[in-house]
Amino acid sequence: MKRLSIGIVLPPVIAFLVAEIAVNALLLRPFGLPRILISSLIDAGVVLVVLYPVLFRFYHRHAARDNAERKRLIDDLKRSEARFRSVFEQAPFSIQLFSPDGTTTDVNSAWKNLWNVDQNIVDNLVLGKYNILDDPTLAAKGIALLIAKAFKGEAAETTPILYDPADIGKPGRPRWVAGYVYPIKDDRDNIREVVLMHNDVTDRENALRELEKAIRLRDEFLLIASHELRTPLTSLGLQIQLLNRMAEQGTLASLTKSRAGALLKISQQQLERVSTFINDLLDVSRIGAGRLTLTIDKVDLPEVIQGVVDQFKAELSKVKCPVTVRADPIMGNWDRMRVEKIIVNLLSNAMKFGAGKPIEITARMEGENARIAVQDHGVGVAKQDQTRIFERFERAVSARTYGGLGMGLYIVRQIVEAHGGSIRIESEPGSGATFIVELPVKPMVTAKKP
């Protein structure tokens, strides 16, 4: 401040001195140069001493006012910058600023997080270096035109784009990113800067994809469910129509005893099918709503397995699947009906996908768990499908070839997990599949007593 005041005061003093010398030079010319200089200095000194307090105060007041104004402006600017910096850095979405020529001038923390880079990289490779108008990958992603538009003065929004860090040799999961790019213009409509905001919409996009998948599965489910229901209904409907027709034609009496018996047997089977199907649907819906409750009881595992095999005897011989059971004596605390369901579903699957080939069922203790394995020698399950098949309404094979709703293994897995156990598959396509269930004999579950 002091220096500033002197800076303001000095020029008039020097000007005065120069003027004084000029006047003295005219008046005192005959007395020679030394006299002129000495007189001028003395005059100036006298004037300065007399006027100094006035001059100084006058200039000082002006300088102080200028200073305060300047300080206020600087403070305002600092505050504004701090505010901008704070909002910029705290913004939950990535912001990248460009000069009108396309080079990067600033990036925020979210940008660094989004691209997984540190300040060092930002300083050395991004700021002043990265030019968005020269980035060839943007054309491939189909957003180069939108970016170019923004640099010509028009705001633009990009649809979500998948960025895979692996594309640029970096670790990290692929992300969906939606962008918004717009120019900042001055009073004369010149572009001063271009702002690119990126929002990580991975969660939203994933949810959307999950939703689309759920809808697709639901539609598929409805299609197959209608088929599954239509098949037994077709059979039952045909029988009723046949009898009706014969009654109308008066030929009912000609229906032989063996045919009538066959019809009744078929009807019975179809009714059982519908009722099993509906029970499965109810199970799936209970599981979906988290209402699968277990009725825990002492269960004799070999007895349950043998019971199911006996129940399937006729079907097993029809599909030419000899079954071998090797079950150690195991008692577990389980829900009997549901353990039976596990065996039924796994055996049905083995018959369906391994028709004409033998099936082996084994049960033995392994630590605290009963290990049940159902092995077939059928089509097997490809590696990429081995997790999917345990999901609701999923199937590894086309519905054109194999019917079924994709509920069986889902129900099995849910029952097994409700008992605190686990299920897995070991399979090579073409050489059959082994489903391995591990059930703790004393399950840690919140079970309802019967």
Partner 1 sequence: MTPKGEAQPKSVLVIDDDEGIRETLKIVLEVGGYTVFAAENGEEGIDLLRKISKPCLILLDLMMPVMNGWEFLDAIRKDSALATIPVVIVSAYAEQAANIKAQGVIQKPVDVATLMKAIEGWCNLPDRANT
- Of 67, 86, 119, 234, which one interacts with partner 1 (CB under 8 A)? 234
Q: Kindly determine how many residues on this chain lie close enough to bind partner 1 according to the rule CB under 8 A.
A: 35
User: Any contact of residue 388 with partner 1 (CB under 8 A)?
Assistant: no
Sheet of 359-366, strand order: 323-327, 359-366, 369-375, 433-440, 422-427
- Measured distance CA(40)–CA(27) in Å, rounded: 11
Count of other CB atoms within 10 angstroms of residue 253: 6
User: Any contact of residue 401 with partner 1 (CB under 8 A)?
Assistant: yes
H-type alpha helices, 250-325: 257-288, 301-311, 313-318
User: Any contact of residue 263 with partner 1 (CB under 8 A)?
Assistant: yes
Q: Are 154 and 180 in contact (CB under 8 A)?
A: no
Among the listed ranges 29-37, 136-144, 236-244, 439-447, the one in contact with partner 1 (CB under 8 A) is: 236-244
Q: What are the E-state strand segments in 295-375?
A: 296-300, 323-327, 331-335, 359-366, 369-375
Q: Are 193 and 167 in contact (CB under 8 A)?
A: no
- Return the residue matching tokens 């605190």: 420
CB nearer to partner 1: pick between 256 and 384: 256
Instruction: Calculate Rg over the CA atoms of the chain.
Output: 45
Among the listed ranges 27-35, 235-243, 326-334, 440-448, the one in contact with partner 1 (CB under 8 A) is: 235-243
Minimum gap (Å) between residue 229 Cβ and partner 1: 9
Minimum gap (Å) between residue 278 Cβ and partner 1: 16
Residues 6+ apart with CB under 8 A from 297: 333, 334, 335, 336, 450
- Measured distance CA(159)–CA(120) in Å, rounded: 31
Minimum gap (Å) between residue 400 Cβ and partner 1: 5
Minimum gap (Å) between residue 215 Cβ and partner 1: 19
- Measured distance CA(445)–CA(450) in Å, rounded: 14
- Of 80, 113, 206, 269, which one interacts with partner 1 (CB under 8 A)? 269
Q: Which two tokens stand for residue 99?
A: 């000069």
- Of 270, 369, 427, 434, which one interacts with partner 1 (CB under 8 A)? 270
Q: Which two tokens stand for residue 96?
A: 């990248």
Among the listed ranges 81-89, 143-151, 197-205, 220-228, the one in contact with partner 1 (CB under 8 A) is: 220-228
CB nearer to partner 1: pick between 254 and 446: 254
User: Any contact of residue 233 with partner 1 (CB under 8 A)?
Assistant: yes
Among the listed ranges 50-58, 115-123, 221-229, 412-420, the one in contact with partner 1 (CB under 8 A) is: 221-229
User: Any contact of residue 45 with partner 1 (CB under 8 A)?
Assistant: no
- Measured distance CA(178)–CA(160) in Å, rounded: 4
Contact pattern from residue 335 through residue 364 relative to partner 1, giving x for each residue in contact according to CB under 8 A and a dash for the rest: -----------------x--x---------
First to last CA, the chain: 92
- Of 21, 201, 266, 373, which one interacts with partner 1 (CB under 8 A)? 266
- Of 60, 112, 149, 273, which one interacts with partner 1 (CB under 8 A)? 273
Among the listed ranges 7-15, 112-120, 393-401, 422-430, the one in contact with partner 1 (CB under 8 A) is: 393-401
- Return the residue matching tokens 């071998």: 324
Nearest 5 degrees, angle CA 294-CA 300-CA 301? 85
Q: Which amino acid is at 347?
A: L
Q: Which amino acid is at 357?
A: K
| Helix, strand, coil % in the chain, rounded to nearest 5 | 55, 20, 25
- Measured distance CA(244)–CA(224) in Å, rounded: 30
User: Any contact of residue 248 with partner 1 (CB under 8 A)?
Assistant: yes
User: Any contact of residue 320 with partner 1 (CB under 8 A)?
Assistant: no
Among the listed ranges 23-31, 145-153, 196-204, 401-409, the one in contact with partner 1 (CB under 8 A) is: 401-409
Among the listed ranges 81-89, 120-128, 255-263, 368-376, the one in contact with partner 1 (CB under 8 A) is: 255-263
Rule CB under 8 A: which residues touch partner 1?
Answer: 223, 226-227, 230-235, 237-239, 241-242, 245-246, 248-249, 251, 254-255, 259, 262-263, 266, 269-270, 273, 352, 355, 399-403
